[in-house]
């Protein structure tokens, strides 16, 4: 959609970014009667939210009540503190995370009322209760449903519209300067506020260099368009950015499949999606597990235990280039290999071991597990099998003899545990894998009204931040909290904008 030269340039609310948090903010504000313009730099909506698995973790939900699970946000906050490294948890903004967790269940109700369906709740220890709700069929459903509601409510969406600058008057943010494909640059005014919802900076090497260190600069973000524009805009307006060095990853992940994975082709809107959602409680768990497995082999990372058990990491030249078991050195080293790619070499012993529980190649914890055969079937593009190492090399364009040298070197290396050298077939080469940041965890400091705060802790008038832009120092480790935050913060920002616009308390 284009704005067109004749179209209005003043709105109540301008939202920067059409992922989960931006769409939630836009729908919430438009539902309260505000005029809303949503600007998205890409030709289509979605952002990282649109490529996610779609899990939404929350406590005290209707889904839990229906399953006789008694739960509450206080327990949830205590459990959330058990995920991830303690030194990262030590930097959490506890008051803000508790506030968020206290509002996540309402957001799930809101999404259900808008027409979304969820599977679960599923367990994810150390959460003491099952809290993970998975949207059906995948995260694209959030985008499709919110988009159609926004349009129905009279909101305007303009794609290929990149916000370059915030406009200000005195200390207040008054609007944006946006570059629209085919139309040039325009200045637009937001009477009530601008909402920053532009996602993270996982693929902005300058920001990664600056905040995390130059050794991580060559690591890519899974979402190549996650370039930190919202953080830059917030900083220019005087925001305080916090926890900017914390990242989810780098992690090894398989490169994406050449074509859309099957689950992405499932209907995420319209009657077909509704039918799929309503039928879900009738679908046996093993069918759901198969469905989720498809998604599981799309982006997931190979388990670290593979390296503890003897998987050898080689580059495109078939050379070992690091100690496989040392992270993040391993991830940093991969990013400087040819094409930033590597492969995991599995001998027959490992192929057998990783063919059944409890040894899996990848997992969405407690939901589904993918073994060697799942990769052979569902991701033949990253699974090469051969009777001899030379078979693998010829299929993957690796120089002849290099894999044999890598195996010999591995077994003579002092730093790897000694085990019997296996020469039986089959050999399996998994990859390419790359080293990726899944998300970055830094964001603008905000208050409970989602208003951006400056370095003295005062709200910057007219400026709101949601999703990854407004993380405010929260640590959202584990599955499902990022999307829960994106959609909760967006919903709450819309309510706050409406409250301020109408002067209600």
Per CB under 6 A, residues contacting ligand FAD are 16-22, 39-42, 46-49, 51-55, 162-163, 197-199, 222-223, 225-226, 229, 299, 438-439, 467-468, 479-483, 486
Nearer to ligand FAD, 261 or 318 (CB): 261
Q: Exposed, middle or buried by CB within 10 Å (0-12, 13-18, 19+), for 214?
A: exposed
> In the complex with ligand FAD, which residue's Cβ is closer, 315 or 438?
438
The closest alpha carbon to 435, from 345, 350, 359, 322, belongs to: 322
Q: How far is the CB of 222 from ligand FAD (least distance, A)?
A: 4
Beta bridge partners of 312: 345
In the complex, least distance from residue 194 CB atom to ligand FAD, rounded to whole angstroms:
11
Q: Least distance from C-beta 139 to ligand FAD, angstroms?
A: 6
User: Hey, what are 389's tokens?
Assistant: 């190492």
Q: What are the beta bridge partners of residue 465? A: 196
Q: Which is nearer to ligand FAD, 197 or 407 (CB)?
A: 197
**What residue number has its CB nearest to ligand FAD?**
19
CB-nearer residue toward ligand FAD: 64 or 227: 227
Q: How far is the CB of 297 from ligand FAD (least distance, A)?
A: 12
| Cβ-based nearer residue to ligand FAD, 39 or 129 | 39
- Smallest distance, ligand FAD to C-beta of residue 439, A: 5
Least distance between ligand FAD and beta carbon 466 (Å): 7
E strands, 35-97, are 36-39, 55-57
Tell me if 116 sits within 8 A of 96, measured CB to CB: no
Residues 231 and 431: their CA atoms lie apart, in Å, by: 33
Alpha carbon distance 464, 28 (integer Å) = 14
Q: How far is the CB of 41 from ligand FAD (least distance, A)?
A: 4
Which structure tokens are listed for 64? 């839990």
What per-residue string of b and e applies to 341-356 under the rule 16 or more CB within 10 Å gives b? bbbbbbbeebbebbee
Least distance to ligand FAD, CB of residue 186, Å = 13
Residue 28 three-state SS: helix
Nearer to ligand FAD, 262 or 321 (CB): 262
Contact 150, 18 (CB under 8 A): no
- Phi-psi label, residue 437: left if phi above 0, alpha if psi -120 to 50, beta otherwise: beta
Nearer to ligand FAD (CB atom), residue 42 or residue 341: 42
CB 313 within 8 A of CB 322: yes
Query: Would you say 27 or 51 has its CB closer to ligand FAD?
Result: 51
């Amino acid at each position: 959609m284009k704005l067109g030269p004749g179209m209005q340039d003043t709105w109540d609310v301008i939202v920067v970014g059409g992922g989960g948090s931006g769409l939630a903010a836009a729908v919430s504000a438009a539902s309260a009667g505000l005029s809303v313009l949503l600007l998205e730099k890409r030709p289509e909506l979605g952002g990282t939210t649109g490529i996610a698995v779609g899990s939404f973790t929350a406590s005290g939900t209707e889904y839990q009540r229906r399953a006789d699970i008694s739960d509450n946000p206080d327990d949830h906050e205590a459990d959330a503190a058990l995920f991830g490294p303690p030194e990262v948890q030590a930097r959490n903004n506890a008051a803000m995370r508790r506030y968020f967790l206290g509002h996540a269940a309402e957001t799930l109700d809101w999404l259900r009322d808008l027409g979304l369906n969820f599977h679960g709740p599923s367990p994810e220890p150390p959460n003491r209760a099952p809290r993970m709700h998975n949207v059906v069929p995948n995260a694209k459903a959030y985008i499709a449903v919110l988009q159609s509601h926004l349009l129905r409510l009279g909101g305007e969406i303009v794609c290929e519209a990149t916000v370059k600058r915030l406009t200000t008057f005195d200390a207040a943010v008054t609007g944006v300067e946006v570059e629209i494909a085919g139309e040039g640059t325009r200045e637009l005014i937001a009477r009530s506020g601008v909402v920053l919802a532009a996602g993270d900076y996982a693929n902005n090497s300058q920001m990664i260099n600056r905040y995390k260190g130059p050794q991580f600069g060559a690591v890519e973000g899974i979402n190549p368009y996650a370039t930190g524009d919202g953080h830059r805009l917030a900083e220019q307006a005087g925001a305080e950015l916090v926890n900017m060095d914390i990242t989810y990853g780098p992690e090894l992940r398989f490169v994406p499949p050449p074509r859309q994975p099957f689950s992405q082709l499932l209907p995420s809107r319209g009657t077909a999606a509704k039918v799929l959602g309503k039928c879900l409680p009738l679908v046996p768990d093993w069918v759901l597990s198969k469905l989720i497995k498809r998604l599981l082999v799309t982006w997931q990372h190979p388990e670290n235990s593979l390296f503890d058990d003897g998987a050898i990491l080689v580059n495109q030249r078939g050379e070992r280039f690091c100690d496989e078991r040392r992270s993040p050195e391993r991830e940093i080293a991969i990013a400087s290999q040819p094409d930033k790619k590597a492969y995991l070499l599995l001998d027959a012993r490992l192929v057998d071991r990783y063919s059944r529980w409890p040894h899996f190649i990848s997992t969405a914890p407690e939901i589904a597990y993918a073994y060697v055969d799942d990769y052979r079937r569902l991701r033949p593009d990253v699974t090469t099998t051969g009777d001899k190492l030379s078979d693998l090399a010829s299929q993957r364009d690796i120089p002849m003899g290099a894999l044999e040298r890598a195996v010999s070197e591995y077994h003579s290396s002092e730093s790897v545990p000694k085990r019997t050298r296996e020469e039986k077939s089959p050999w399996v080469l998994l990859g390419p894998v790359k080293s990726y940041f899944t998300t970055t965890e830094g964001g603008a400091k905000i208050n409970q009204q989602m208003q951006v705060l400056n370095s003295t802790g005062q709200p910057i008038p007219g400026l709101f931040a949601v999703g990854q832009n407004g993380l405010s120092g929260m640590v959202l480790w584990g599955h499902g909290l990022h999307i829960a935050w994106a959609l909760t913060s967006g919903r709450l920002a819309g309510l706050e904008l409406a409250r301020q616009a109408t002067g209600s308390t």
